[in-house]
Amino acid sequence: MDFSEITQAAQDYSSDQIQVLEGLEPVRKRPGMYIGSTSERGLHHLVYEIVDNSIDEALAGFCDKIDVCILPGDIISVTDNGRGIPVGIQQATGLPAVTVVFTVLHAGGKFGGGGYKVSGGLHGVGASVVNALSEWLEVEVYSEGKVYFQRFERGEAVTGLEVRGDTDKHGTSVRFKADPEIFRETTVYNYETLQRRLREQAFLNAGVHIELADERGDERVQDNFCYSGGISSFVEYINKKAAVEVLHPDVMHFTAVMPDDSATAEVAMQYNDSYNGQILSFANNIHTTDGGTHEDGFKRALTRVFNEYGKKYNILKEGDKLTGDDVREGLTAVISVKLKEAQFEGQTKAKLGNSEIGTLVSGMVNDKLMTYLEENPATARTIFDKAMSASRAREAAKRARELVRRKSALESASLPGKLADCQSRNPEETEIYIVEGDSAGGSAKGGRDRRFQAILPLWGKMLNVEKARLDKVYSNEKLMPVVTALGCGIGDEFDMSKLRYGKIIIMADADVDGSHIRTLLLTFFYRFMKPLVEDGHIYLAQPPLYRITKGKNTHYYAYSDPERDQIMAQLGGNYEIQRYKGLGEMDSEQLWETTMDPERRTMLRVQVEDASAANEAFTILMGDKVEPRREFIEKNAKYVQNLDV
Ligand code: TTJ
């Protein structure tokens, strides 16, 4: 290795800005501490960590193209056209800065204050963690006419930093193979997962070209993301995906800068005709799923502006007030802030804590939204009317709720008549089976373990909550027994501590009708009792599809066609096969042993990986428009699998 050459390349951006903290052994010992988990999610996190570095270079204004490629063997390659990681020797360590970046924990400039990064968030742990968790990693830096190269294995340098030739390019390229010793579940990347994340990053960083390619299969797959409209394009994209009708053609887009230049804030927003709102917030390009000061500031200002506007133009009568929920109905908004010293709070570090950012965002929305509404009176009126009708529905829901309460206070037992309750009152062990159809309900009641399993048969006409507001739920004879039985309330009254059963199990036939009722119930839980879904309380029972009988005393159950074929092959011949058309065909004993016995059953736990994906899934599946629904189902035949684990 030619040191003099490398020292020359050090140039004036100082390698000393990189702080030396610790080695990599702890990362391989406890990978979960650094990347959250070693599951599929953690695996994809490696890619984000590397790409984040290129995005930071783009934010610094030195890079506008990032290529990400999944190569055969699930090797990831990330290349940018930035300045290149510095290759000069760092005084503190005597090593090239690029080597330090990959071998020393927390070696990113971002922990030193100053330096070039604004990011660092959820994990924000840097390239060295990726290196430590890779079977091997190779970096190339194109800078000052030279190609520099270094290779690492499981975090250790196995070559020095070498000059490999000449180039007129500038930038950085990294290739790595995730270590199967660490990622024991899987080292196979999911294209859609990377696609979603990189598209999001392209929205959040207007003008940056991000290319994603998959070269694993026979045919190369590729996406190019670049949005000059930034988060406005993001809002348009979300509304288009959800197949909702927008109430006004333009996306409102507001920006602000902190007086001392320490932060920027941006909001893009557009209303649609649905009853759901969706606000996505980001801090330093990290999705703050638990919100925080930026989101609070936005909501605060939004409510204030609409009430002020209503008062000023005499649309709101004396004493009338719009609530936050009223003005957020049908709103799609993206908030993005970038700041020097982001404080992430909470268990998952997904909540922004900087109070000055709340003031920045609320001040911006107060001023600019008000101006927008005054300059666009027709749009303002349309949105205002929508908020007013949301407000009336909320009043109606309140009256309906009180009516329900008064009625149940008069009746001696406030639990639904058809509920067969269990003996235990401890939600840690109790379960409720929600069963479609009286005959299946009968078998379930006969088969259950009444100590901890309750059964609620459903009857009557179902409500599609995607097309109805809260007030309609209170008068729906099919949903109200579910609400009363669970005990935890709905909408803004939801209270997890009142939940009567820890597991809520939807048990429906394995046919089209069953799948319809499942989707309707899931939508209901997602829209009105979201924490139940988010905290994993909802399950789908998995009844068998076939019963295979051999002789007098032996029988088997198959839960899928391949399983049926396997059993048939094993038995050789001389068996009888029965296809269950519905739960009702099973007697109590059979239902217990196949579907309800905790020792023998399998259930799917409903999980929501990504809020916007779930929102999209529900609006499309349950909304008015047929065409997007057909398309969606064709493309995502496995969507329920995505929701399940
Ligand atoms: C640091 O400050 C001096 C000029 O270069 C800055 C820098 O490091 N830029 C940079 C890093 N651009 N791209 C990267 C990078 C790219 C990949 C793919 C992976 C990593 C770890 C860094």
- Mean pLDDT for 388-415 is 82
Question: Which residue's CA is minimally distant from atom 11 of ligand 1?
Answer: 85
At 478-509, the pLDDT tens digits run: 999 999 999 999 988 899 999 999 999 999 98
Query: Residue 627: pLDDT band by 50, 70, 90 thresholds?
Result: low
- Tell me how far apart the alpha carbons of residues 231 and 236 are, in angstroms, rounded to a whole number: 9
- Tell me how far apart the alpha carbons of residues 91 and 94 are, in angstroms, rounded to a whole number: 5
Q: Take residue 562 and report the two structure tokens written for it.
A: 């391949």
- Mean pLDDT for 2-6 is 33
Q: What is the pLDDT of residue 336?
A: 98
- Mean pLDDT for 556-564 is 91
At 434-454, the pLDDT tens digits run: 998 777 899 999 999 999 999
Q: What is the pTM of this model?
A: 0.81
Q: What is the pLDDT of residue 628?
A: 59
- Tell me how far apart the alpha carbons of residues 401 and 471 are, in angstroms, rounded to a whole number: 8
At 77-119, the pLDDT tens digits run: 999 999 999 999 999 889 999 999 999 986 544 333 333 344 4
At 320-378, the pLDDT tens digits run: 999 999 999 999 999 999 999 899 999 888 999 999 999 999 999 999 999 999 999 99
Q: What is the pLDDT of residue 45?
A: 94
The least confident of 43-47, 253-257, 372-376, 569-573 is: 569-573
Question: Could you write out the DSSP letters of every residue in 127-147?
Answer: HHHHHHTEEEEEEEEEETTEE
**Does 644 score more than 50 pLDDT?**
no
At 114-151, the pLDDT tens digits run: 333 444 434 456 899 999 999 999 999 999 999 999 99
Q: Average pLDDT, whole number, for the chain? A: 88
Q: Take residue 33 and report the two structure tokens written for it.
A: 């501490």
Report the separation in Å between the CA atom of 186 and the middle of ligand 1, taken as the mean of its atom positions. Answer: 28
- Tell me how far apart the alpha carbons of residues 249 and 235 are, in angstroms, rounded to a whole number: 12
At 52-64, the pLDDT tens digits run: 999 999 989 999 9
Atom of ligand 1 nearest to the CA of 51: 18
Q: What is the pLDDT of residue 198?
A: 97
Asked if 71 and 60 touch (Cβ cutoff 8 Å), the reply is: no
Report the separation in Å between the CA atom of 172 and the middle of ligand 1, taken as the mean of its atom positions. Answer: 6
Name beta bridge partners: 68.
78, 212
At 141-196, the pLDDT tens digits run: 999 999 999 999 999 999 999 999 999 999 999 999 999 999 999 999 999 999 99
Place of tokens 């207007």: 206
Q: Is 51's C-beta closer than 6 angstroms to any atom of ligand 1?
A: no
- Choosing from 513, 576, 589, 609, the catalytic residue is 513
Sign of dihedral through CA atoms 228, 262, 269, 241? positive
Q: Is 128's C-beta closer than 6 angstroms to any atom of ligand 1?
A: no
Question: What percentage of residues in the chain have a pLDDT greater than 70?
Answer: 87
From residue 103, give the alpha-carbon distance in Å to each of 3, 28, 294, 495, 619: 19, 12, 35, 48, 46
More confident residue, 9 or 208: 208
Q: Is 288's C-beta closer than 6 angstroms to any atom of ligand 1?
A: no
Active site residue 511: yes
- Tell me how far apart the alpha carbons of residues 330 and 386 are, in angstroms, rounded to a whole number: 8
Question: Which residue's CA is minimally distant from atom 22 of ligand 1?
Answer: 53
The least confident of 202-216, 599-613, 614-628 is: 614-628
Pairing of strands 344-345, 351-352: antiparallel
Active site residue 513: yes
More confident residue, 153 or 512: 153
Element (H, E) at 505: strand 503-507
- Mean pLDDT for 252-280 is 96
Q: Which amino acid is at 184?
A: R
**Does 642 score more than 50 pLDDT?**
no
Q: Is 116's C-beta closer than 6 angstroms to any atom of ligand 1?
A: yes
Active site residue 250: no
Q: Take residue 233 and report the two structure tokens written for it.
A: 């394009």
Question: Which residue's CA is minimally distant from atom 7 of ligand 1?
Answer: 85
Q: Whose CA is closest to 60, among 85, 35, 77?
A: 85
Query: Residue 412: pLDDT band by 50, 70, 90 thresholds?
Result: low
